[in-house]
Amino acid sequence: MADQIKRLNIADEKFSKKKLLGFSMVRMGNILQGLMIGEVTYFATNSLGIAAAAISIGMAIKTAIDAVTDLLMGAIVDRTHTKWGKARPWVLAGIPMWILTLLVFAVPRSLMSDMGIVVYITILSTLVSAIFGTMANIAYETHIKRSIVNNDNRVRTLTVIGLIYAIGSLGLQIALPAVINIFHASQRGFIIIAAITAIIGIVACLMAFFLCEEYSEEELAAFEGYEPEKQKENVPISVFLKSVAKNKYLVMFTLINFMYMIVMMSSFGVGQYYFQYVYGNLGTFSIVMAASVALFPVFAAIPKLSKKMGSAKLISGSMMISIIGIIIRMFLPQSIAAQMVGYLAVSLPNIINACVLSQVNYELMEYGRYKTGVVAEGMYSAFISFAQRWQRV
């Protein structure tokens, strides 16, 4: 039996363009979906005329539920053992996620009271984020780890994915305020954007499923140096959480992610309200965000910077710069130049994390396995997501 196991050699794995394409598409799809669902509060208040306090309560409930489902979903991924792999089947959770996202914006306004709309949006947004969105995003991390084992291939893939994600998300961020402005923040405009992005997202899910095959349990166990049966053990959430306390780097990484969420919360959503109500022109926000193109050359330097500084220091350093950007935007609110510089600084962690975050997570998984003997992949990704979401509650 042992002789029949294909033992992977780092030099044997070739860089896969089809896996790069599949993972890039699903990554962009997940980010676009996150941006769309982040528009719900703005959509409800400006397109449907719902009181901000009412929809904010609904979104707070959604976020609280979202925060407690992460570890459960991570455990489900770790307990999945099919002929398609552990994480690969769950990439298809993105299909109902996108359908429900479209339905959030297609709320039948004329048939519901304001309270009915709040309940409708809260329920659908919760299903989108807490169930299907959580599953798709957690499975994405594990899917890459189990499909690409050569570290150089993985870093190269993640860097290209980060660039594609940056271009795609920037395009949507530039388009959203402009389209919303053209349609005067109408429901029709939001439905059009949601429908277009939903088509892209569903196609991306199918591409990732068919193009990105996982290695078998036996292949991965042979490559990483443990028994295949260890991978198939069902690790209880309580056992995983106990192992977290012994992984000091995971704790440090989680704190960095808290900072990351603080920065990101102050960026796009707040910017829309600022440019509409303070500056007086929402369309100008598109011009400010377009300045992010100036950061694209940073992608070429990330591998060298990561090797020289270390991934964690690179991420934390970029977040310190982003805090400076927030201060600039606060103290020079009427200066377009200052807003552009501040937005560039705030956007920097997004670019760094797009390329480095997943790789750090994989290294934490390996360190945790060597340190505690606990083999968990989905729950590691879930723990980081869990920490990020509680920052938003």
CA distance 18 to 24: 10
Q: State pTM to two decimals.
A: 0.75
Tokens of 16: 């896969």
The pLDDT score that the predictor gives to residue 5 is 47
Q: What is the pLDDT of residues 191-219, one digit of tens each?
A: 888 898 899 999 999 999 999 999 888 78
Q: Is 41 within 8 Å of 269 (Cβ atoms)? A: yes
Ranges of residues in the chain with a pLDDT under 50 are 1-5, 390-393
Q: What is the pLDDT of residues 215-240, one digit of tens each?
A: 888 788 777 766 666 666 677 777 77
* b/e burial code for range 192-214 (CB count within 10 A of at least 16 → b): ebbeebbebbbebbbbbbebbbb
Lookup result for tokens 């499923």: 209
